Structure 1
């Protein structure tokens, strides 16, 4: 199943205008931040991932002008598992959105127009968007529309699994290694569906702990793990990157947007035997 990792937001006192707040007053930096990665998009926007310990960190995105675009705290070594208050700004510095989530689950959301007028107020229950309120630029009530419409793979989940099975090939040794532990058979793959529907930056959750337990931690097991696990992970990443179809792009607040996604993959059911 493909799941969308929603961003969420903390409700502000309702008013006709959002007050401009400094980044640190909304989401202060955790102590001893260290940069884990940094990248620049084709549009010139810079994203940096910072961590303050083995679990907690933040993702900052800057406009090409150098002004802060968004600030998103995360937990559990996965920047897509958000926890806390995520904030975004227009390039003018005006508050655009304020989101609140707990352990990766959305809680509430406020979105504002560039002039500071409240645009929408949304709440979530059991990871599902509830009916909220939408407003026009002058503050007039509007019919409510969903905030997020996730990307869709042509043919749905069945076709996505079929295409992955066609792309992913595992050797006999790799399949036997995975079969040694039932829990190692299932992995989570985190990836982004870009605005053009392409898959970007797939990351495979760790296989190592479950297999170490299953194989008893022997020297031979360690040798197999150290040589084969990177190959298995790389093969799965490549399978996602070589999907023959693009997703139908998702929309956020009525505009095409990139989405952080997660898919649970059964390696033995998906991977074809490589002869």
Structure 2
């Protein structure tokens, strides 16, 4: 009685491997071509730089944004998912050398953050988890460890947020107080200069009187402690969000922390870095 063999002959085995490799490569090629058809670039030429947005899918959920200066040098490259930073971001020196690189997950730093000197030597290394720094080291140009300092700091109003809220309350015109049927949201972007003075970058309010009151309050605002960037005092944008209620004027972040909930119909606070549609 003959015994059946389950072993494949060498030439048949090679043929099977070849066919599998061929079909695998062919399918990958088709997928790559399909993905390529979905990709699209949008280029915006602005006054000081050009912005190139590359979408990686039909629904435009995933994108890479590049900032290119007028000399043609890539200065910034970041990846996004649903208009939030997701993946790596890189910033470059004017000569094209890498300045810093960081990883993000859903708009929050998550992973390794590296900063380099112009000659390419390591200046800083930090490790983040869900937006919180777990480790941080700074180095001089020779590679020696130096005292740690934050890469970026926000401007600070004298005595903190409650003092800033009190300042706006004191400056708010009596004609705009009381007799309120609901809540009114006021937003502005302040520019805190290296001279510690605050200037209005933009205002968002329902009517002219509210905008006038906000601008007037900024004009007489006391000096701030300016923000820093990579150890140097830097002009910094600072967002102020206020809500006018029948009970008074509040910074929304203080109201949220006090009540534990967001105000009704509050504006969406997510940062949009590009306009995908």
Using the size of structure 1 for normalisation, the TM-score is 0.55
Instruction: State the distance in 2 between where 1:55 and 1:236 align.
Output: 41
Instruction: State the distance in 1 between where 2:210 and 2:51 align.
Output: 22
> SS at the partner of 2:135?
coil
Note the C-alpha offset of 1:134: 1.9
Does the CA-based 8 Å contact 1:167-1:242 persist in structure 2? no
Instruction: State the distance in 2 between where 1:166 and 1:61 align.
Output: 45
> SS at the partner of 2:118?
coil
Corresponding residue for residue 76 of structure 2: 70
Does residue 91 (structure 1) correspond to residue 94 (structure 2)? The answer is yes
Q: Which string of whole-angstrom CA distances, capped at 9 and with x for unpartnered residues, describes residues 93-146 of structure 1?
A: 211011233333222421000000111111234533333222221222334332
Corresponding residue for residue 108 of structure 2: 105
Q: Which among 242, 249, 270 is matched to residue 270 of structure 1?
A: 249
Unaligned runs of 5+ in 2: 1-38, 251-277
Unaligned runs of 5+ in 1: 1-29, 40-45, 205-227
> SS at the partner of 1:162?
helix
Aligned in 2, Cα 1:171/1:113: closer, same or farther, shift over 3 Å?
A: same
Q: Which among 229, 237, 253 is matched to residue 206 of structure 2?
A: 229
Instruction: State the distance in 1 between where 2:64 and 2:188 align.
Output: 20
Aligned in 2, Cα 1:49/1:236: closer, same or farther, shift over 3 Å?
A: farther
Does residue 252 (structure 1) correspond to residue 258 (structure 2)? The answer is no
Let me know the Cα RMSD of the aligned residues. 4.1
Asked which structure has the greater RCO (Cα within 8 Å, sep 6+), the reply is: 1
Does the CA-based 8 Å contact 2:188-2:201 persist in structure 1? no
Matches within 5 A, 1:175-254: 176=180, 179-180=181-182, 184-185=183-184, 189-197=188-196, 198-204=198-204, 229-231=206-208, 234-235=211-212, 238=215, 241-254=218-231
Instruction: State the distance in 1 between where 2:74 and 2:102 align.
Output: 16
Corresponding residue for residue 146 of structure 2: 142
Note the C-alpha offset of 1:74: 6.6
Aligned in 2, Cα 1:34/1:94: closer, same or farther, shift over 3 Å?
A: closer
Matches within 5 A, 1:47-62: 58=65, 60=67, 62=69
> SS at the partner of 2:194?
coil
Q: Which string of whole-angstrom CA distances, capped at 9 and with x for unpartnered residues, describes residues 131-165 of structure 1?
A: 32222212223343322232111232222112222
Note the C-alpha offset of 1:187: 5.6
Aligned in 2, Cα 1:166/1:131: closer, same or farther, shift over 3 Å?
A: same
> SS at the partner of 1:270?
strand
Corresponding residue for residue 131 of structure 1: 135
Q: Which among 33, 36, 42 is matched to residue 42 of structure 2?
A: 33
Using the size of structure 2 for normalisation, the TM-score is 0.55
Instruction: State the distance in 2 between where 1:48 and 1:168 align.
Output: 41
